[in-house]
Amino acid sequence: MKKRRLGRTDIEITPIGLGCWQFSQGANFAGRAWDTLPDEAIRCVVDAALRGGINWFDTAESYGNGRSEQKLAEALTALDVKPGAVVIATKWQPVFRTAKSISSTIDRRTSCLGRYPIDLHQVHNPMSFSPVAAQMKEMAALLHAGRIRAVGVSNFSARRMQAAHDALAADGIVLASNQVRFNLLDRRIEQNGVLETAKKLGVTIIAWSPLAQGILTGRFHEDPGAMRRASGLRRIMSRLSPGTLERTRPLIEELRAIARAHGATISQVALSWEVVFHGETVVAIPGASRPSQAEEAAAAPDLRLSALEISRIDSLARS
């Protein structure tokens, strides 16, 4: 899989990474969004991602209060992956905290990740008690101390992203990324200035929920009863309902037809569109709870959609 630069850093990542929220094993509120995966299942998913060519993993403090970080590190260790051989991204949880918490919690982050260094440290959302400049000052201190390699943000508006970029630039550091929700069913960043600002600043957009919590795999259209088995949080996040399935059916049918023509899956077509439609600006971090899902995601960039197919998908998604 051909790699891309993460923003204007020297870090190279594959267009598809593996989101690791599902490794939370039911710990804390966020972790209960997913079924608990045993250690062996996590190892198999990580192994499938690596064998598919994926070279980076995105986790967070809030994913099970560090459980996801721990389980990712344990899986990599069990697979004898050497430190530095993969890129690790994690996130600081700002809710009800000040910027000083970034430095005071970094030891916990590194403890959870064991021997694997933090390549990208991100502010998970804009809910800190401290201003953006203060948060970036703390991140810059960690970078200068060699504790992290790059700084990113998540769920930041265009204005906040610009502020983060400017604060870091004053310290000679680039803002690497902004992790935001972006998929064929949620394209708000194309209208609210986030994508435009990211392109102007050379910031990579990391798309979370690139398959809209499973809607863009087509499985809920094939089996509407599966909606009842999805967690309440996932249903809320994806607006999963019979009405949503009906509105999105024409798009899913087009994705299905294109997938059939390429000998691919619906999810692979959706992911391929995601990482090529805006050039190299957007990368995606689908999750996977089974090895087959990780294998599918890893192979998505190998799909070569025609200009006509890309345009057709774009048109149906907008409608």
- Identify the band that residue 37 occupies on the pLDDT scale cut at 50, 70 and 90: very high
Domains and CATH numbers, the chain: 4-214+266-304 (3.20.20.100)
pLDDT for 229:
62
Looking at the chain, the whole-number percentage of residues with pLDDT higher than 70 is 92
Q: How far apart are CA 230 and CA 213, in angstroms?
A: 9
Please state the φ and ψ torsions of residue 236, each to the nearest 5 degrees. Answer: -65, -45
Tokens of 252: 């899913």
DSSP 96: T
- Mean pLDDT across the stretch 137-151? 98
pLDDT, tens digit (0-9, with 9 covering 90-100), for 51-63? 999 999 999 999 9
Q: How far apart are CA 136 and CA 151, in angstroms?
A: 8
Tokens of 190: 């194309």
pLDDT, tens digit (0-9, with 9 covering 90-100), for 279-309? 999 999 999 999 999 999 999 999 999 999 9
pLDDT for 29:
67
pLDDT for 231:
57
- Mean pLDDT across the stretch 2-28? 94
- 257, exposed or middle or buried, with CB in 10 Å at 0-12, 13-18, 19+? middle
Q: How far apart are CA 236 and CA 264, in angstroms?
A: 29
pLDDT for 244:
82
Q: How far apart are CA 261 and CA 181, in angstroms?
A: 28
Task: Tell me what percent of the chain is helix, strand and coil, each rounded to the nearest 5.
Answer: 50, 15, 35
Looking at the chain, the whole-number percentage of residues with pLDDT higher than 90 is 85
DSSP state letters, 166-231: HHHHTTT--EEEEEEE-BTTB-GGGTSSHHHHHHHHTPEEEEESTTGGGGGGTHHHH-GGGGGGS-
Please state, as a whole number, how many other Cβ atoms lie within 10 Å of the Cβ of residue 60: 24
- 86, exposed or middle or buried, with CB in 10 Å at 0-12, 13-18, 19+? buried
Please state the φ and ψ torsions of residue 103, each to the nearest 5 degrees. Answer: -75, -35
- Identify the band that residue 258 occupies on the pLDDT scale cut at 50, 70 and 90: very high
Catalytically active residues, by annotation: 63
Helix (H) or strand (E) holding 19: strand 18-19
- Mean pLDDT across the stretch 14-29? 90
- 237, exposed or middle or buried, with CB in 10 Å at 0-12, 13-18, 19+? middle
Computed over every residue of the chain, the mean pLDDT equals 94
* 237/45: higher pLDDT: 45
pLDDT tops 70 at residue 117:
yes
pLDDT, tens digit (0-9, with 9 covering 90-100), for 203-251? 999 999 999 988 899 887 776 666 666 656 555 565 667 778 888 999 9
pLDDT, tens digit (0-9, with 9 covering 90-100), for 90-114? 999 999 999 999 999 999 999 999 9
- Identify the band that residue 145 occupies on the pLDDT scale cut at 50, 70 and 90: very high
Q: How far apart are CA 147 and CA 103, in angstroms?
A: 10
- Mean pLDDT across the stretch 67-85? 98
